[in-house]
Amino acid sequence: MAESKSQERNHDKMEKMIEHTRDLEELLEQMEKNTVHANCLAFNLVAIQTNPDLTNAMKHLEDAFLRCKEKMEKKWQELLME
């Protein structure tokens, strides 16, 4: 009987260990994604600082996007009114 309880405890410990391992793997994967994202942001920052034309182009694209978004919202409101 004692051997059975010992096996159950070992099984429970093993399940917890596996669960913790999965949690750690998920955390590691998220850290890797965050690292890649941070590297991309740093690269973009350096590119923008070293090329002023890129900054102007990005501003132009942002303005165009906002105008397009505004028009789409107006069209959407018009469709809802009909």
Greater confidence (57 vs 1) lies with 57
Buried b (16+ CB within 10 A) or exposed e, 10-36: eeeeeeeeeeeeeeeeeeeeeeeeeee
Could you tell me the residue ranges of all domains in the chain? 1-50, 52-81
* Per-residue pLDDT tens over the stretch 9-65: 888 888 888 888 888 899 999 999 999 999 988 888 887 778 778 778 888 989 999
